[in-house]
Amino acid sequence: MLLAIDVGNTQTVLGIYRGERLAHMWRVATNKAHTGDELRLKLCGLMQAEGLSRDMIRGVALASVVPALTLRWQDASRAEFGREPYVCTASTAGSLFRTNYANPAEIGADRVADAVAAQALYGTPVVVVDFGTATNIEVVDENGMFAGGIIAPGLETGANALFSHASRLAAIDLVDPRTAIGGSTEQAVQAGIVYGEADRVDGLVRRVFAQLGYEATVVATGGLASRVAPLSSTIDRVDPELTLQGLRMLFESHEDTVER
């Protein structure tokens, strides 16, 4: 089995693959202060709850946008499984990730994994909208090249900024208010934030289409995708495990070169 780890700024998603099938997935809060030992303990607890043992893991694939935790997850992998993890970057992705980006080292590991999986699963051209701490839009053109993308504040990031700066507005659930004209302060805020996110994504995707000169399949992923995608007119598919799938594909393409 393969352990895939996607470390984001707010949440870390872990998945266990049996071949191409995702057998287990966990979403936990990212704590940038955690040591390698603390990460091991958290991981062991999750695995033991599902009856999984360390000797079942044949490899580890890691995507991280938190440099300090990249190193600590590498330490945890070596200590727990005796394996060097495959670490996803634009350069380690090899032929699965082609780009003319001016500085590929700037491209986040999650963006690389998303682009790899989207192209393999949905063909080209394809656009990925990843709803996380940031809302990332990744563009793979009709030639299979990563053309670049858009990075904007995420749904909850924007909401938290509003709540922290507007003393009379309390935090609310970010759900569909089912009305564009709020009949209460809660509905008004939900309409502004939730509908605003869906319409912002639609507007940005249409700008992408206009620049490309053609439309593309649009795939949503990330922890908040299921809330926004039904309200969007441009999103075609929702794939919660897209980033993990990309990590699986990248690991398998590099399995012979990953140090044991």
Q: What was the pLDDT predicted at 259?
A: 52
Any residues with CB less than 8 A from the CB of 199 and at least 6 apart, and which? none
- Does the annotation place 109 within a ligand binding site? yes
- Does the annotation place 7 within a ligand binding site? yes
CA-based torsion, 58, 63, 109, 149: positive or negative: positive
Q: What was the pLDDT predicted at 162?
A: 84
- Does the annotation place 243 within a ligand binding site? no
* Beta carbons of 40 and 75 less than 8 angstroms apart: no
Q: What was the pLDDT predicted at 53?
A: 93
DSSP E strand boundaries for 197-259: 217-221, 237-238
* Beta carbons of 13 and 27 less than 8 angstroms apart: yes
- Does the annotation place 60 within a ligand binding site? no
Query: What is the token pair recorded at 198?
Result: 């869906």
18, with CB counted inside 10 A (0-12, 13-18, 19+), is exposed
Q: Taking the model in full, what pTM does it have?
A: 0.91
Each of the 260 residues of the chain gets a pLDDT tens digit; together they read 999 999 999 999 999 999 999 999 999 999 999 999 999 999 999 999 999 999 999 999 999 999 999 999 999 999 999 999 999 999 999 999 999 898 999 999 999 999 999 999 999 999 999 999 899 999 999 999 999 999 999 988 888 888 777 766 666 788 899 999 999 988 999 999 999 999 999 999 999 999 999 999 999 999 889 999 999 999 999 999 999 999 999 999 987 665 54
* Long-range interactions of 89-96: CB distance < 8 A, separation 24+: 92/250, 92/254, 93/250, 94/253, 94/254, 96/120, 96/249, 96/250, 96/253
For the question of residue 110 being annotated catalytic, the response is yes
Q: What was the pLDDT predicted at 260?
A: 46
Nearest to 241 by CA among 133, 64, 121: 121
Annotated active-site residue in 55, 110, 199, 202: 110
How wide is the angle at C-alpha 120 spanned by C-alphas 217 and 147, nearest 5°?
A: 60
- Does the annotation place 202 within a ligand binding site? no
Integer Cα distance of 196 and 202 in angstroms:
10
E strand or H helix at 179, and its extent? none
* Beta carbons of 246 and 89 less than 8 angstroms apart: no
